[in-house]
Structure 1
Amino acid sequence: MGLRNRRDRHHGWMLPCRQVMENQQQEDADLIKPRKLPNPVLASHQRRALHEELLFCHRRGVLPRRKPELQSVLEHKQRELHKRRELALLPPSDLELKLRTRQQRIQVYELEEKKRSERLKNVPEFVRVRQTLRHISNSSS
């Protein structure tokens, strides 16, 4: 008997009496049990359909692009245009000024060369040959 009493005492605190269990059941019936609220985003039909499509595409290895190609090209052109406008508003740097002056000098030189070559085209051939011969004879002496 001593062994039994020791076992009953040990587990006695774990077993609630009948009256306590009845009180808990009565309280549970009176209380409203909390439920998790549905997430409207997750419950949306469109979102579920999109998610299914993405999973399907992912399984096939074909992921949709973020934006259509035409839209991305248009946005790229708009960004480039915006950058050009901003750069046009800034004053030119020293390097840009020197490059512009050099480009202008080269253009002037090219125009002169073009005019000279056109003048030479209008000159008869024997005159051109004679000028080259004169030039060769002057350089050799």
Structure 2
Amino acid sequence: MPDRILDHDWIIWFGDLNYRISLSYDEAKRLVEKKDWPSLFAKDQLKMEREAGRVFKGWQEGKIYFAPTYKYPFNSDTYYAEGIKISKNKRRTPAWCDRILWRGRGIQQLYYVRKEFKFSDHRPVCATFLVQV
């Protein structure tokens, strides 16, 4: 990918980037229950890798003010399969796997949220951008 982007060129990259949170399941669960997103986000692997300059150098992401998007049982509002017997091997620490990043000039993110669709073990995220064309 070129290092130089023209005045109004832009790229939006989105999907399940599969980055996790570098905390134990129990610690992450405790922070999610408290809705302590800043403490949880401090251990987000994508955030840490970007800050270290190892991935997505020059890319931007909006502020995350929503619960982690992964791991839910299908068709459920219950996070981590609480109350459902699940082996430790299948249990996953919650994470913001689903992300939207962008780079370039002439683009501004206006909105970044997760949606409460229950058809997957992920909650999708969406964003609205203002883009100069």
TM over 0.5, shorter chain = no
The higher-RCO structure (CA 8 Å, 6+ apart) is 2
- Structure number with higher helix proportion: 1
- Return the TM-score normalized by structure 2: 0.19
Q: In terms of Rg, which structure is larger?
A: 1
